Amino acid sequence: MTENLSEAIREQLAGIDPRVAEQQLNDKVGIEFVELTAERVVGTMPVEGNLQPYGLLHGGANAVLAEALGSTVAALNAGPDKATLGFELSCTHHRAVREGLVTGVATPVHVGRGTITAEIVLTDDQGRRTCTARLSCLVRDRAPGAR
């Protein structure tokens, strides 16, 4: 699935109201997906444009990247007839980042019928861990006709 990332992302947004599809937070913070599989979702986010007042990457931006990657790995594990809804996100910020890209890797640590939990590790350009996050998602049946 990693060869056709844009096609995979388009499939995830298929059937969503175009006004909603055009307002994705991932686009606003500059998230780019690098790898999409049920075992591992990788994405990057620029530090530039996502700073807090001290010139450091905003912790909320870390949370946005973690939730984007974790919810995607959950959705890929749940399957197309299910909806995943994040209900708990925790982030531990280990070190500050001032420039470059942050790379996140989400892997499932629990895949059940009712919940999926992912661990997300964020690193800087030097490969140093900057944040560790955990996202838990509920798994529900999609409503008939819903995407």
Active site residue ranges:
67
Q: How far is CA 10 from CA 25, 43, 85, 102, 109, in A?
A: 15, 16, 19, 23, 26
DSSP 2: G
Query: In this structure, how many other beta carbons lie within 10 angstroms of the beta carbon of residue 77?
Result: 20
CA-to-CA distance for 16 and 3, rounded, in angstroms? Answer: 23
